[in-house]
Amino acid sequence: MSDFTPTEMMTVAAARALTNDDVCFVGIGAPSAACNLARLTHAPDITLIYESGTIGTAPTVLPLSIGDGELCDTALNTVSVPEMFRYWLQGGRITVGFLGGAQLDKFGNINTTIVGDYYKPKVRLPGGGGAPEIAISCGEIFITMKQSLRGFVEKLDFITSLGHGTGGTDRADHGVTTKGPTRLITDLAIWEPDPVSKEFTVTSLHPGVTRDQIQETVGWKAKFAETITETPVPNAEELQVLRELHARTKAAHEGQLG
């Protein structure tokens, strides 16, 4: 089971960033797959929290949305959304927030609001939901996204969720005391913010990926660490558990959206 897709590599690399002790605020989609893979492999005691108020959820299939009944059915507890945000999130009780987005810049700012002019957008996106609050209230943020020129842009059309702002001390200068984005996991590489400038920097290339491929899929001049490692390939257990999770999800949701 050595063959794997770029998406599987991204999901496995993201899952490995989580630990047994984490209390993780999970986004729908790629973040949900990564967090549940971690729970089903090396981090069985991780606490997964979804925006709808489910705490310690352990879904057997990936949820379609934060309102999916699977989350409430498998949670240790479900609280109201105001309690989730005020007591848990703003109370500093969540160690990691896992986010994705439509657009991302080199400082980890995220856009999920509009593409184009705000008043006459080319595309109107789903909006922020809880992501803006997650971005500033969780201890740190992991971002998972596939690299593309459309998604990785020099300048965002709208900043929905704060990353490191304009870089340097800008985040802290706005009174935000949490770490912000500490890791960006893509289908090609792992990026981490430069300690001083806070610009995302490639620290690990996935197997077979070149620097040229990185540059061709981001809208700014990519920065590379002085020493770059190669991301370890997914092992047999990680791939089997991930594929079985997706197979269960597909079987459970087949025809529900028709």
List the structure tokens of 240. Answer: 């089997």
Q: Which member of 51, 70, 199, 238 is catalytic?
A: 51
pLDDT on residue 1: 42
pLDDT on residue 2: 59
Q: Picking from 92-101, 164-173, 185-194, 249-258, which range would have the lowest pLDDT averaged per residue?
A: 249-258
pLDDT on residue 67: 83
Dihedral of the alpha carbons of 8, 13, 14, 20, in degrees to the nearest 10: 120
pLDDT on residue 242: 97
Dihedral of the alpha carbons of 202, 145, 36, 240, in degrees to the nearest 10: -80
Give the mean model confidence (pLDDT) for residues 174-187: 96
83 flagged as catalytic: no
pLDDT on residue 258: 47
List the structure tokens of 224. Answer: 């590379």
97 Cβ partners below 8 Å, 6+ apart? 24, 25, 27, 134, 135, 137, 138, 140, 141, 142
Alpha-carbon torsion (243, 47, 16, 204), positive or negative = positive
Domains in the chain (CATH in brackets) are: 6-249 (3.40.1080.10)
Give the mean model confidence (pLDDT) for residues 124-153: 94
Q: Has residue 94 got a pLDDT over 50?
A: yes
CA proximity to 50, closest of 37, 34, 63, 61: 63
Q: Has residue 135 got a pLDDT over 50?
A: yes
Q: Has residue 170 got a pLDDT over 50?
A: yes
Interior CA angle at 12 toward 9 and 15, to 5°? 150
Strand partners for 144 = 185
pLDDT digits (tens, 9 = 90+) for 188-225: 999 999 999 999 999 999 999 999 999 999 999 999 99
